[in-house]
């Protein structure tokens, strides 16, 4: 095929008989295309010798090819898992990622975030919980014309602006598993106040206990902040209760590790003397002893889907044969060695 001048994305789209958006999706390695369309566009790109020019496109769009991750999360592993999912989505594309921690308690948080978004001219931004749970942040992104996706433990927005998990149902199932093993004195280590995930997981726990007709005294509930140290402190409090719990559900794996540590310090054997369930299924869950029974939170998959929502623009209506990225992800119970029947 004869080339005349420097080929453009318009040339590729015209010759391939597709839209510019389809060409962009091929360039960005989007999975939202069928193989035949992808091959047709790639063949034309190869024949023309077309090379994308991110700088020129950024000038035309008045946006950089940057996707942002905004968070105020105390759990470093969770943030890393989200980064992993986002990087998988933008791998071999023209997009790069920038990470911005914020302080949700700061009176200048919204203004600081505004300056960041305006300065970086982001193509889009993924909002992690609990920042994602702030409607004012989503409104700010919308007002600035910055694409956004909110990650959460419940539905927070319309499908194109959201990835969510079924935390409440997953925790209810995990608690029912403890009850089925014969446990009746079950303690809860809740997540920090102000996190929707903490609220949803606590509701799931309470629903399972209520459905089983098991009372839940206030003394059997302690709060942590999703860190090992807070789990250790919360477990000490619960294990001081008389009679002590035979099982503890912890709202994340880091705090569950603190529970197991506290139990060992007291000479208790897990799971013989104390059964423990966590939430997340981070690497620590399989590496501790005994291996931790936990709820697998598909956070990397959620982040990958969120990033693809940002860079492929699936909110737009077009004639593409594309399948939208999912908005709801199911958390599942992973049974390992930290749960058994109670001895008393």
Domains of the chain, by residue range, sit at: 9-49, 59-166+298-329, 167-296
pLDDT of 267: 97
Alpha-carbon gap, residue 206 to 286, rounded angstroms: 27
The residue ranking higher by pLDDT, 318 or 110, is 110
Instruction: Please state which CATH class domain 167-296 belongs to.
Output: alpha beta
pLDDT of 316: 40
* Mean local confidence (pLDDT), 249-264: 97
Tokens of 315: 């909110």
For 28-78, write each residue's pLDDT tens digit.
666 667 888 888 888 888 888 777 655 455 444 555 789 999 999 877 888
CB 332 within 8 A of CB 172: no
Per-residue pLDDT at 4 exceeds 80: no
Alpha-carbon gap, residue 339 to 198, rounded angstroms: 22
Half-sphere exposure of residue 320: CA atoms within 13 angstroms, side-chain side: 27
pLDDT of 57: 52
How big is the chain, counted in residues? 344
* Cis? peptide before 290, omega within 30° of 0: yes
Alpha-carbon gap, residue 305 to 105, rounded angstroms: 28
Q: Can 59-166+298-329 and 167-296 be said to share one CATH topology?
A: yes
Per-residue pLDDT at 265 exceeds 50: yes
3-class secondary-structure state, position 250: strand
CATH 2.130.10.10, domain 59-166+298-329, yes or no = no
For 154-185, write each residue's pLDDT tens digit.
999 999 999 999 999 999 999 999 999 999 99
Alpha-carbon gap, residue 78 to 56, rounded angstroms: 35
> What are phi and psi for residue 297, nearest 5 degrees?
-100, 115
CB atoms closer than 10 angstroms to residue 174? 27
Per-residue pLDDT at 3 exceeds 60: no
pLDDT of 6: 76
* Mean local confidence (pLDDT), 104-115: 93
Confidence of residue 286 (pLDDT cuts 50, 70, 90): very high
pLDDT of 319: 42
- H or E segment to which residue 175 belongs: helix 167-180
For 183-239, write each residue's pLDDT tens digit.
999 999 999 988 999 999 999 999 999 999 999 999 999 999 999 999 999 999 999
> Tell me, what DSSP letter sits at residue 282?
-
Please enumerate in sequence order all residues whose Cβ is within 8 A of that of 289, keeping only pairs 6 or more positions apart, or say none.
Answer: none
Per-residue pLDDT at 323 exceeds 80: no
pTM across the whole model? 0.78
Confidence of residue 128 (pLDDT cuts 50, 70, 90): very high
The residue ranking higher by pLDDT, 151 or 64, is 151
């Amino acid at each position: 095929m004869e080339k005349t001048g420097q080929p453009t994305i318009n040339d590729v789209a015209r010759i391939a008989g597709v839209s510019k958006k389809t060409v962009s999706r091929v360039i960005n390695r989007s999975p939202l295309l069928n193989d035949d369309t992808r091959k047709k566009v790639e063949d034309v790109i190869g024949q023309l010798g077309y090379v994308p020019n991110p700088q020129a496109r950024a000038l035309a769009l008045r946006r950089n090819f940057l996707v942002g991750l905004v968070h105020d999360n105390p759990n470093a592993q969770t943030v890393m898992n989200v980064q992993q999912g986002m990087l998988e989505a933008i791998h071999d594309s023209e997009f790069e990622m920038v990470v911005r921690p914020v302080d949700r308690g700061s009176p200048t948080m919204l203004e600081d975030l505004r300056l960041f978004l305006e300065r970086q001219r982001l193509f889009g931004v993924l909002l992690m919980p609990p920042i994602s749970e702030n409607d004012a942040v989503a409104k700010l992104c919308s007002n600035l014309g910055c694409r956004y996706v909110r990650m959460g433990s419940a539905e927070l927005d319309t499908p194109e602006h959201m990835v969510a998990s079924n935390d409440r149902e997953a925790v209810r199932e995990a608690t029912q598993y403890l009850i089925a093993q014969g446990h009746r004195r079950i303690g809860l280590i809740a997540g920090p106040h102000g996190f929707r995930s903490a609220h949803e997981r606590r509701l799931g726990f309470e629903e399972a206990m209520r459905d089983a007709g098991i009372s839940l005294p206030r003394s059997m509930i302690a709060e942590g902040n999703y860190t090992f140290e807070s789990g250790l402190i919360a477990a000490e409090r619960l294990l001081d209760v008389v009679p002590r719990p035979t099982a503890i559900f912890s709202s994340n794996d880091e705090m569950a590790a603190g529970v197991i540590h506290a139990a060992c310090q007291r000479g208790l054997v897990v799971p013989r003397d104390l059964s423990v369930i966590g939430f997340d299924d981070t690497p620590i869950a399989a590496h501790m002893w005994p291996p931790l029974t936990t709820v697998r939170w598909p956070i990397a998959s959620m982040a990958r889907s969120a990033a693809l929502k940002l860079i492929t623009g699936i909110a737009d209506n077009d004639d593409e044969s594309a399948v939208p990225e999912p908005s709801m992800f199911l958390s599942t119970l992973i049974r390992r060695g930290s749960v058994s029947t109670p001895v008393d």
